[in-house]
Amino acid sequence: MSQVFEGYERQYCELSANLSKKITSTTLLDGEQKKQKVSEIRDGLEDAEALIHKMDLEARSLPPSVKGALLVKLREYKTDLNNLKTEVKRITSSNANQAARDELLESGMADTMMASADQRGRLLMSTERLNQSSDRIRESRRTMLETEELGVSILQDLHQQRQSLLHAHGTLHGVDDNISRSKKILTNMSRRMSRNKWIIGSIIAILIVAIILILYFKLTH
């Protein structure tokens, strides 16, 4: 048997055993430690694949009497390498599934937080609208009270003005009565003055006639 092939074979067996242990321990890890260990295992698988490729080249370079047995071994090592790759895929697939679940959970939590934030925003907007409506109602009520007070004040002013007008009307009525009485008095006085004037005129005329008669009698006698 080729010593070169045996050297590659020994290296592969040690590497395969080491990779198998790492794969088993990696299943107990998570997070960044698991990612780092998987990266180391993949590097080891590349080294193992390179060793199998070297063994294949070495076996095919040997005589047929030796090459047949070595190729049988090589097929076993290739099967072993494929099994290791399958285990790594299972680990990484489990890690991917876990990551997907975590992402879904994070996405669900994010959606929930966004929905909660949206609900809080709508609730704050509704509360603000209610506060604004309450402010408008209070403002309308205050305006209504002020208008009511203004209306009462106007009614009071109108009542006072009505009383003043009634008083002025009563005063004017009294003035009219006084004017009527004064007019009657002046009319009576005018009539009396006219009668007195005629009486005085008559007396003066009689006196003049009497004086003339007296003078006439004196002159004739």
CB 38, CB 26: distance < 8 Å: yes
Q: How far is CA 191 from CA 30, 121, 144, 197, 202, in A?
A: 140, 102, 69, 10, 17
The packing angle between helices 64-220 and 3-26, to 10°, is: 30
pLDDT band at 48 (very low <50, low <70, confident <90, very high): very high
Range picked from 86-100, 125-139, 145-159 for highest mean pLDDT: 86-100
- Kindly tell me if the per-residue pLDDT of 42 is higher than 90: yes
- Kindly tell me if the per-residue pLDDT of 21 is higher than 50: yes
Interval 75-98: pLDDT, tens: 999 999 999 999 999 988 865 555
- Kindly tell me if the per-residue pLDDT of 71 is higher than 60: yes
> For residue 210, which phi and psi values (nearest 5 degrees)?
-65, -40
Indicate the range of 25-39, 84-98, 166-180 predicted with least confidence.
166-180
User: Mean pLDDT throughout 127-153?
Assistant: 63
171 versus 31: the higher-pLDDT residue is 31
Chain centroid to CA 185: how far?
88
pTM: 0.43
User: Mean pLDDT throughout 102-130?
Assistant: 57
HSE (CB half, 13 Å, CA atoms) of 55? Answer: 27
Residue 220 pLDDT: 85
